[in-house]
Structures are given as structure tokens and as C-alpha cells.
Amino acid sequence: MKIERLAEGISLKRSVDAGTADQRKAVQDIIYDVRKSGNAALHNYTERFDGVSLEELLVSEQEIEEATAALTVEQLAIIQEAADNIRLFHEKQIRNSWITTDDTGTMLGQKLTPLDAVGVYVPGGTAAYPSSVLMNTMPAKAAGVERIVMVSPPGKDGKLTPAVLAAAKIAGVTEIYKVGGAQAIAALAYGTETIVKVDKIVGPGNIYVALAKREVFGDVAIDMIAGPSEIAVLADDSAIASEVAADLLSQAEHDARACSVLVTTSMELAEEVSAEVNKQVALLPRRDIAAASINDYGRIVVCENMVEAVGAINELAPEHLEIVTYNSLEVMAKIRHAGAIFIGRFSSEPVGDYFAGPNHVLPTNGTARFSSPLNVDDFQKKSSIIMYSETAFRQNAEKIAAFARMEGLEAHARAIESRGANKLGK
């Protein structure tokens, strides 16, 4: 890995695929077709894109049982334990409706209600990750969402990956359909004869899925359009180079466009990590992907001091941030922008990918400046509660009407004044 000194600002090379005009057109056509032809369109596209002709889109109870049986007891136990940790962390986020009252008898507040129905997209093939099923489903479950609909493209054998189905069962998915791509997003957003539409769609996918989510945004809610994975390690000379290198590579193996960055105050560490990355990458099964990612997007940036280093991290707003320094909690306090912050050498990033409990669906591409990890708030919406007492009304009616007239909205003023003509009730 190349080592550089921090220049004026740290402008990170990142790659977000915005899609071509042709891809956008293709996605619009698919959505139009699904809205028009429903299931027939889903079956057609599944034949065309996934190379399989299905009798039924819905995954049967028997298929789920078979999938569960295909996993070892140990594998099921690990998925279950991860699910329990994720449930626990997300249940702590559940918020209650609240009100305030005052001595006039006025009541103001927020009523919190879970969404009715959520769709979870799970990619197929090698990207069919059970952890992704857990991370996208369980915040919705914790929020109290009753209907959770999973969609995923079938393999050529017409089946979904066993680990994905087993995770779906453990996570509490209520319906699973074998359909993927833009057609699955269209079905979730607008409904077909068998798939009842949902209120929000979450989960990662390829460029067609991302473009389809962007198209349906507004008609339903979506989570975010995720870019390639990113890790920044903020380290001083207390860090161990082999561990830092291994963590950088754990992101690099995801995607040739993944972005792994070390920001450090130690030139010695920088040099050691650079050498370690070169050594370790050669031994990885996915070394082609990891090496391409490190070459194109990997960076080691050496800073004069920790203040400068923290400034660089806040400028990056990385998806994952590891802090491996003396006084790492003090350093953490100064971080304003990061999706997830891993503190200390035992908080290796994969700890959070699978197991600890916090979500692995995180803001990429600098959007940690304004976005949050997927969380329970994403599945609970608020309604304002306004109950004015007669006393409060009479105290303030004149002022409210005057405000309305200041804005030139006479009917608003008269709505207030219409209460003057009547005394208490009928």
C-alpha cells in the first residue's frame, strides 16, 4: 500500500455507481410492466434473468424446513446467537409514544406506530448473506412491524440459499418470495396478485435494484442507496500492524471498489501495515478482488498528530471506523461523522458485521455526515398529537388568528374564530 502525508484535506477516491441511461430505462420499463401485468411479469423476468421457470413465487414451509435441515447444528446455533444479540441491541432502541400536559389541560406529544409492512431485499448468488437477512429484518421486528416480506432471486435450481432461508426463519420473516431484481422492488412497491405491497423497502442489491429503489422512492420509503463498503482505521503506535492489515483486507475482499484507509500518527506503523497488507493479501482466496481494491482505493495517510488525524476522519465520514489508539474513548468523543465506531483492538470490524448486535447496514460514501445505521426509528413513525383545551384555545385564539392573517390566510383565521360563535359544546 502506498503511504502519503496528509495534504490539505483528505479527498477520498470513492466510487458510486449511478447507473447508465440505458440501465435506468430498463428499470423503468420493468417497473411499468410489473404494475401492468403483475405476477405474469414477475414470472417472465425470473425466467429471463434468473434462468428458471417457477410454479410458485412463495417459498413453502417445506422449503424452509429443508433449508434449515441443510445447515449444521453449530451453524444454526451461531445464527441464532447473532440474532439474539441483534434483537437485544435493537430492542433497546424502541421508543414510546409520549405526551406533555400543562395546567390548562392541553396535551401535546408524539404517537409512535410501527410500519404495517416492510420488504427486505436479499441478493442472490455469492452475495446471499444470512447476516444481511438478520440485520435488515430484526430492526423492523423490534419496532413491531407485523408483516415482513423477503424477496430474493432464485438460483437456476429454483431455490434460495439454505443459510438465507434459515436466517429468515430465525429473524421472523413472515413471507418469502423467489423473485429478485427491479421486478421484485416493483412488486413490493406496487403489489401484484400474490404480493401485497409494503410501506418500506430495505436491503442491498445490484445496480438494477438500487435504481429501482430510487424510482419507487416516495411511493414507498426506502433505506438508502448503498455504495461499496469502506473502512477507516485510526491508529497510533499502540496498534499492531498485522491486525490492522487484516482488518483493512476484510473490507477489501468485499468488492474491487471497496475502500480501505489507514489514518495514523505513526510512520513506523504505516510502513509495517503496508508490508503486512502485501503479505496477507497474497494468501486470501479472494485475493484478486482484495488486491484490486487495495491498489485502486486503499490508502495510508500519515498525520502530524491526533488532532489532524481526527480531522481527516471527520472529513472522510467513513462507513466503518476502527480506533486503535491510547485513550481510544477520548478520541471517539471527537468523532462527529462515522457509521459505526469500533473501539480498541478487540473490536475488529467483523465483530460488528455478524455478531455484537449493532446493525451492519451503515451509511457509505460520506453520507455518515447526515445518515445513521439502520435502526428501529426507521420502522417506527410518529404522528403529532395536539389536544388544545378550551382554556388554552381561548387564551391563544386571537394570536393564532392574527398569525394566519399575517400570512394572508383568512380561512385559517376564520376557522379559529368559528369557535367563538358557540359556547361549550352543543
Which residues are designated catalytic? 319-320
- By beta-carbon proximity to a copy of itself, the closer residue of 50 and 353 is 353
Calculate the alpha carbon distances from 201 to 117, 140, 149, 226 in Å.
9, 11, 9, 13
- Distance of alpha carbon 80 from its chain centroid, rounded? 21
Pairing of strands 107-114, 98-101: antiparallel
Taking the complex as a whole, the smallest distance from the CB of residue 56 to a copy of itself amounts, in Å, to 27
Closest by CA to 261, choosing from 335, 319, 327, 347, is 319
- By beta-carbon proximity to a copy of itself, the closer residue of 140 and 179 is 140
Taking the complex as a whole, the smallest distance from the CB of residue 359 to a copy of itself amounts, in Å, to 7
- Dihedral sign for Cα 304, 306, 310, 311, please: negative
Residue 164: partners with Cβ closer than 8 Å, 6 or more residues away: 67, 122, 128, 129, 130, 133, 152
- By beta-carbon proximity to a copy of itself, the closer residue of 64 and 166 is 166
Taking the complex as a whole, the smallest distance from the CB of residue 5 to a copy of itself amounts, in Å, to 25
Q: Which three cell numbers stand for residue 270?
A: 504505516
Annotation-wise, does 183 bind a ligand? yes
Taking the complex as a whole, the smallest distance from the CB of residue 150 to a copy of itself amounts, in Å, to 17
Annotation-wise, does 412 bind a ligand? yes
Burial class of residue 228, CB neighbours in 10 A (0-12, 13-18, 19+): buried
Q: Which three cell numbers stand for residue 346?
A: 478487540
- By beta-carbon proximity to a copy of itself, the closer residue of 8 and 74 is 74
- By beta-carbon proximity to a copy of itself, the closer residue of 58 and 284 is 284
Annotation-wise, does 237 bind a ligand? no
Taking the complex as a whole, the smallest distance from the CB of residue 53 to a copy of itself amounts, in Å, to 28
Taking the complex as a whole, the smallest distance from the CB of residue 61 to a copy of itself amounts, in Å, to 23
Q: Give the Cα separation of 117 and 381 in Å (integer).
A: 12
Q: Give the Cα separation of 398 and 391 in Å (integer).
A: 13
- What is the DSSP secondary-structure string of 164-215? HHHHHHHHT-SEEEE--HHHHHHHHHH--SSS---SEEE----HHHHHHHHH
261's enclosing H/E stretch is: strand 259-264
Q: How many CB atoms lie within 10 A of CB 118?
A: 32
Annotation-wise, does 251 bind a ligand? yes
Annotation-wise, does 43 bind a ligand? no
- By beta-carbon proximity to a copy of itself, the closer residue of 176 and 202 is 202
Annotation-wise, does 353 bind a ligand? yes
Annotation-wise, does 62 bind a ligand? no
- Known binding-site residues equal 121, 183, 206, 229, 251, 254, 320, 353, 407, 412
- Known binding-site residues for NAD(+) equal 121, 183, 206
- Known binding-site residues for Zn(2+) equal 251, 254, 353, 412
